Amino acid sequence: MIGIIYLGCALIIILIASTIEKSRKYINQYLSEFLATIGAIGLSLVGIMANSEEIFVGEYKWKDVWGLMLIIFIIIMFVAIYVGASRNKHNFNLNEEIKKNQKLQENIQLYNQEYYKLCSTTILFLFKDFFTTGNERISIYKHHGNHFTLLGRYSGNGNYNRRTTYEYNDNEGLIGKAWNEGEQILTGSPKWVKNGSEYKKFMKQKCSITDKRLSKIRMRSRSFFIKTLDDKNTAENPDGIIVFESMEPNKIIITECKQLLENNENSILSLLKNMKSLTNRVS
């Protein structure tokens, strides 16, 4: 068969394969190997046919064009090497970026953990008069997008003092209701007994929250005071929200909570602003 027909058939096969999505992706993914294979086969063929009297195309025999074909397949081999080197460099750079991103995420996590400790310690220091029995807790949340992120919390009871990764939507629960109305006071909630049916019924009457979420709450508080935190220096939404809660049904007294907030308002707002600045720097 005339040599040019071999090359034509090979080119047609490659063109057909490149029109099929799966084979096109495969060729792109392994382009350097694909070119290297073509180059190696071509060089082998040139070596075999170098002195052949067989017709390559028209009046030209293989022995007449082997030098040109040798140059073409050598160029293909060099292209394969270049493509492979470029891909390896890209993969190296990609791996470096992945490592940098992982390091950044670790730093963000570390900053958040340290800030959480600072915020929780500050809550204890500022509101120590509130913690009298071990059944109270204060939590501070920052509003972000359409949800709340826990910045810090303190309770004298270790079971209630654990950090949670759950993010309340800003229309969910008493927190969401306080966010929309400015504040919420709730006392006299029934005690959680057995499966908590009375507690769930009571809470669902007061706000939008599911049985599933209520079942996962570690501290089933019976009295609450929740208020938005806002420096009122901008037209933006409030900066966050603070939650006073207690396992005792009548522990929360709104005047006392408001007085504690008034006494420590600047410090609390400073915590929220610092967290916002930190978030902007590491995001």
> pLDDT tens digit string along 131-157?
988 899 999 988 888 888 888 899 999
The answer to whether 27 touches 15, Cβ cutoff 8 Å, is no
| Closest among 270, 217, 261 to 239, alpha carbons compared | 270
208 vs 239, more confident: 208
Q: Where are the beta strands (DSSP E) in the chain?
A: 55-57, 60-61, 136-144, 147-155, 183-186, 223-229, 240-246
Radius of gyration (Cα) for the chain, nearest Å?
Answer: 35
Q: Kindly report, residue by residue over 28-50, the tens digit of the pLDDT.
A: 676 677 777 777 777 777 777 76
Q: Kindly report, residue by residue over 54-71, the tens digit of the pLDDT.
A: 766 667 776 777 677 778
- Residues whose CB falls within 8 Å of the CB of residue 272, separated by 6 or more in sequence, listed in order: 140, 142, 151, 229, 239, 240
Taking the whole predicted model, whether its pTM rises above 0.85 is answered as no
| Closest among 138, 163, 109 to 271, alpha carbons compared | 138
Least confident window among 17-26, 104-113, 158-167: 17-26
| Closest among 177, 175, 217 to 196, alpha carbons compared | 217
